[in-house]
Amino acid sequence: MAKKPDGRNNSGRGQRDLFVKVKTARGRKPSSTRWLQRQLNDPYVKRAKAEGYRGRAAYKILELDDRYRFLVPGARVVDLGCAPGGWCQVAVLRVNALGQKAGKAEGRVLGVDLQEVEPVQGAEIHQLDFMDDGADERVKAWLGGSADVVMSDMAAASSGHKQTDHLRIVALCEAAAEFAFDVLEPGGTFVAKVLAGGAETGLQTLLKKRFDKVANVKPPASRQDSSEKFVVATGFRGRAVPPADEEEEA
């Protein structure tokens, strides 16, 4: 189970780690200095380095899975927007993709990202722009069957305009959701990162037609000053279930 970092050092005396203050260097923007200072003092960043995860984002999926239990041994997982690989690392261990849990079914982890991602033992990773024409069909071919979990941590490059960025990430989530509708087994789970901003209402409506439960969660590992949250849709009803508006028209 993922535990929230408490900011304590390893001395056993209960003292807090010293705060690292970063001075603005010549040629470095103040915003870059603030980012670096936040990284150096972030307990999740420190813990990720100590525990071998590729980034603090690993704890977001750990915390979500601790709550909703979708990364179970034997599960087949698709991770969209998988760079730098932290979510894949977590999934490999929890679904038993390496077969290290005796007596437990072996799962599978397939990761996809626009960027090149260093190999993750136990995961199959492909470089692909998921928004390209035909990209979803290529992922389905690599998958070669159905999935139990589709996760999306995809995010568009920041434009500097909050509402534009919000609309872009909602579009990515909707594309990931449509893919999930095609590949998920009944009872499957869809997890995606979104940004609060209002336009995600349509995504919520879409998911509620296809899943038994849809929750909006901000895990402890998500920074409080960030507008990100995660939608967790569980209990996929199956591809044959028509949307509610089609049922009403029938």
* Residue numbers annotated as active site: 193
- Annotation-wise, does 79 bind a ligand? no
Strands in 53-115 per DSSP E? 76-80, 108-113
Beta bridge mates, 115? none
- Annotation-wise, does 129 bind a ligand? yes
Contacts of residues 126-132 at CB distance under 8 Å and 24 or more positions apart, as own/partner, are 130/80, 130/81, 130/154, 130/172, 130/175, 130/176, 130/179, 131/172, 131/175
Q: How far is CA 172 from CA 38, 190, 209, in A?
A: 28, 13, 19
- Annotation-wise, does 182 bind a ligand? no
Q: Which residue has the tokens 């199956």?
A: 238
Residue 240: both structure tokens together: 């044959």
146: exposed, middle or buried (C-beta count within 10 Å: 0-12, 13-18, 19+)?
middle
- Annotation-wise, does 85 bind a ligand? yes
Q: Which residues are annotated as a binding site?
A: 85, 87, 113, 129, 153
Q: Which residues are annotated as a binding site for S-adenosyl-L-methionine?
A: 85, 87, 113, 129, 153
